[in-house]
Structure formats: C-alpha cells, structure tokens
Amino acid sequence: MTMKDLDLPLGVVARRARGGYAWTRLAMRVATAAADWIVIAATSFAISLAYNRLGADDWWSSRAQVDLAMMLASLFVMLNVVRGQYQIGNYIAGEQKVGTALTLWATTFLTLMAFAFATKTSEGLSRVAVISTFVVGIPVLLGTRRLVSRLMTLGSKIGLIQARRVLLVGRESDVTAFAMRYQPWNAGMHIAGTGLLTSERSGEPSRGDIARIVAQARHMQLDDVLIIVPWSQTATIDRLIDAFMRMPVTVHLGPERIFDRFDEVRIAKTGGIASLQLGRPPLSAGEVMLKRALDIALASIALVLFAPLLLLIALAIKIDSPGPALFRQRRLGFNQEAFSILKFRSMTVADDGDVIRQATRNDQRVTRVGRFLRRWNLDELPQIINVLYGQMSLVGPRPHAIAHDRQFDDGRIRLYARRHNVKPGITGWAQVHGLRGETDTVEKMQARVEHDLYYIDNWSILLDIEIIIRTVFSKKAYDNAF
C-alpha cells in the first residue's frame, strides 16, 4: 500500500461544518442509550406482566412492575455512560465487548438488590420476575446491540452517520504502516487527509513543512489530528504539538507498536503525576468481591451436598491401596504465592519436589480407584476446601506443580506467569476445551496458556457459570483425563 492507495489528498475540504458532525454524533449516542433503555424496560415489564398473569391470573397487580423496569433500565444506562460505552466508534468498529456488557448487566442487578435491601423495598419486588429479567435480558440486550452496531456501520459506510474527521501527520512510511495495521476508517474515523513530513539533513522536518501542513489543515474542518511519529523523536513531536495546539482540534499522539499487546491503554493520573497505563489487575475490587461471593456460596453448598460422596471416596482409597486418602502438593496461586493444593490420592506416589513426572496414559502409578477418580474429575473435589480458604476459586487457570511452572516460565511462552494474576481454579476455560492431561510439549502448554489468558481478559460472572456447567455436562471437559 502507498499513500496513493489511501486516495486522501491533503487539500480535501469538508462539505459540512464541524458543528453538524458534533450534533450528529451526540444524537447517535443518545439514540444508542435510548435503545438500551427501551429494550431493558420493555423486557422487564413484559416479564412482570407474564408472571402476574401466570401466578395471580392478573395482568396488573401493583406499580412495582413499572418501578422495576424503569430502575433497571436507568441504572444500566447510567453505568454504561460512566464507562463510556456509548461512543460511536465502539459500534461502528464492532468492538462492543460481550464481557463488559455482561459485567455491567450483573452489576446493575447487584446494585438494585443492594438498594432495595437498604431502603427496605425488596418485599415489593418479585424474585421470580427479577431473576427471569436477568436471564432473559442477556440475549435480548446482546441481540439489540448487535443490530444497532450493524445499522450504525451501514450508516457510516453510506454517509448517513458522520465519523470524526481526522488528519494523519507523519512521514509516509509511518503513516502507511499505521493505516495498514489499524485501518482507522473501520474504527469510526473518516481520514480527511494526510500531512506528509519530509526530513532535512538533521533528520527533523523543516519549519516550512510543518507550517504548510497546518495552513492547509485549517480549511479541512477537522475534529482530530493524529501525529504518527515514533515517540523517541521528541523534538519533532514537540514542534508538531506546538503547531496544532493553535488550532481548535483534538491532538492525539499515535500509538507505538507495543500497544498492540494490550487491550486497554489509558492515561492514569495520580495527584500531579500522569502515566501511561498499559496493564492493570484483571478484576476490579467489585469484580473480585462478586467472584468471591459466588465461590463461597457454591463451594459451601457443594461441600454439604458432596460430604457423603467425599467420605465414600476416602474410604475406597484406603481400602484400595496403602497411604493417605488426601494428597497435598505445592502450587503457585494468586500473585505466585505458594499454597498446598488438596486432591484425593490417585497414585501410589506423592511427588512434591523439584522434579515431578507427569501422569501419562496407562501410567502404572495410577491406582484402580485413582483411575476412576481421574477419569471423572472426582480427584479434584477436595479443592472445595481450598476455595473456602480463599486459596483458589471455583473457576480460573488450573495451577501446575511448582516444578512445571519453573519448566515453562523461562521465556518460551510469552506472559506465562500472567496466569497467576487471578486465583487458580478447580476448573477453567482450558479444561472445558479438552486442554488437560500431560503437557509434554511446549505447544500443548502454549495452547493451555492462551485459553487461560483469554479467560482472564474476558472474565464475567456469567462466563464462570458457563464454565461450571460445561465442566459437569460437556464431553470435552473429560477429554485427556487419565
């Protein structure tokens, strides 16, 4: 690709004023928020009506139905506004993240329940209606957003929705590479033109070059100027910023290639110190509390329900072979802190040293009872206790023996140690995709790590519930179990 392929000469003049574009974008943001509000309110109200009809043979019983619908819709829209989810570029670019939408949806209901409890109004809400709205609202909400995204993308392509007018400034090679890598026209931007810099002997662009670009840019009705210059060229960047700060436009410094490694990059400011935030803990404080609440609730129920089964398994192990019923092994947990994982003993050995030989298919060290336990994942059940202690979660990256962590965390697998940025789990995204068993090659471990990192980057409470369900009912969850 060359700059001719972009077909974006610098002298392009806008046909409409910037004010018209701003009002159009504001109207579209309001429209997307209104679509969410209407769909959620209508869904909640319809479910409440249906519940009253089925339960009380009455289409209308109280004003609580209307209050519930309006509260849910308003709270969800407010949370999305705070998170900046109604930006036009998100819809045109097709970057609406399902995980973010589901997290905000779950947060809406938790906030509603907390508010109802604090104000003592929970008795007026139907639990069945609330739960049904939560479940039914997920596909309705996601379907609506997908439809809105397609309509806005189509509107952008045919010119009904005006994207932000952007000028790309930089040397031809840098601007071309940027355009090929990011395709900004698919991210809600209209490339109004390109300002190409030429270098003098010193390597810096001439003052006349910059002045020419700025003078022509004044007639282009721009919204943004994107400076595509390597960050190491501070003198060039300073001169360009000084020049474009004299224009009523938003000035951006283009991304470095390292940004491609991170999903969220933003400016963070603490006091008077500004920094570029490349990464953060995968879960916020609220998300950690929500996940922990789910762990405690389900693990407590599971411990009570499975208590007879746990005792029977322990007795079977003692009868089948000499040794303890439980097996402890050191693993690395959250923030790479070591803990002792609990498992039912399924082998004749209890290795926990610097060298641990993994179990293989038809391994002679596996006992008769152990073979059955491993085949149906029952040897992992004692880890419910690890969950209640807070050392593990029900769902998360499966912890490996410390010896195996050291074996693979040597640079061969990028971001391997990032698996420890969340608590390890009894089951995980990799396991329900059949990625378990012996990791005798780097490729096998690489695939497992990639699934673990996907889970970390796309976590939601619903994803945890999906993984728990698939662990029990999906055939893949039992693949490579030996």
> At 122, is the pLDDT very low, low, confident or very high (cuts 50, 70, 90)?
low
Highest mean pLDDT: which range of 25-39, 297-311, 445-459: 297-311
At residue 11, the pLDDT reads: 38
Among left, alpha and beta (phi > 0; psi -120 to 50; other), residue 437 is left
Residue 272: DSSP 8-state: T
At residue 20, the pLDDT reads: 53
Residue pLDDT, tens place only, 171-181: 999 999 999 98
State yes or no: pLDDT of 8 exceeds 70.
Answer: no
Percent above pLDDT 90 for the chain = 35
**Once rounded to an integer, what is the mean pLDDT over residues 230-251?**
91
Name the nearest CA neighbour of 51 among 41, 61, 38, 63: 61
Name the nearest CA neighbour of 289 among 458, 114, 135: 114
Contact predicate 237/256, CB 8 Å:
no
Beta strand residue intervals within 156-229, DSSP E: 164-170, 189-196, 224-228
At residue 97, the pLDDT reads: 63
Highest mean pLDDT: which range of 78-87, 322-331, 410-419: 322-331
At residue 203, the pLDDT reads: 64
Alpha helices in 183-284 (DSSP H): 207-217, 234-244
Residue pLDDT, tens place only, 295-312: 999 999 999 999 999 999
State yes or no: pLDDT of 25 exceeds 90.
Answer: no
Choice among 62-66, 101-105, 146-150 with the minimum mean pLDDT: 62-66
Contact predicate 76/52, CB 8 Å:
no
CA 12 vs CA 247, 297, 381, 400: distances in Å: 17, 62, 67, 59
Residue pLDDT, tens place only, 77-118: 998 888 888 877 677 655 556 767 887 888 888 888 888 777
State yes or no: pLDDT of 139 exceeds 60.
Answer: yes
* Strand, helix or coil for residue 330: strand
At residue 425, the pLDDT reads: 96
User: Residue written as tokens 């809406």?
Assistant: 108
At residue 263, the pLDDT reads: 66
At residue 13, the pLDDT reads: 37
β-sheet with 164-170: strand ranges across: 189-196, 164-170, 224-228, 250-253
Name the nearest CA neighbour of 72 among 136, 21, 151: 136
Supply the DSSP string of 412-467, one letter for each residue.
TSTTGGGGGGS--EEE-TTGGGT--S---SHHHHHHHHHHHHHHHHT--HHHHHHH
Strand-pair category, 326-332 with 338-344:
antiparallel
User: Residue written as tokens 């699934």?
Assistant: 451
Residue pLDDT, tens place only, 359-398: 778 788 999 999 999 989 899 999 999 999 999 999 999 9
Residue pLDDT, tens place only, 9-24: 443 334 444 445 566 6
Domains of the chain, start order: 3-16+163-277 (3.40.50), 18-157 (no CATH), 285-478 (no CATH)
Residue pLDDT, tens place only, 191-236: 888 999 887 666 677 778 889 999 989 888 888 999 999 998 998 9
* Strand, helix or coil for residue 387: helix
> At 343, is the pLDDT very low, low, confident or very high (cuts 50, 70, 90)?
very high
At residue 285, the pLDDT reads: 84
At residue 251, the pLDDT reads: 93
At residue 54, the pLDDT reads: 73
> At 131, is the pLDDT very low, low, confident or very high (cuts 50, 70, 90)?
confident
Interatomic CA distance for residues 354 and 406, integer angstroms: 9
At residue 62, the pLDDT reads: 57
What phi and psi, each to the nearest 5 degrees, are found at residue 67?
Answer: -60, -45
Q: What does the mean pLDDT of the chain come to?
A: 83
Strand-pair category, 164-170 with 224-228:
parallel
Q: Which two tokens stand for residue 17?
A: 């004023």
Contact predicate 69/45, CB 8 Å:
yes
**Once rounded to an integer, what is the mean pLDDT over residues 334-362?**
85
Contact predicate 96/102, CB 8 Å:
no
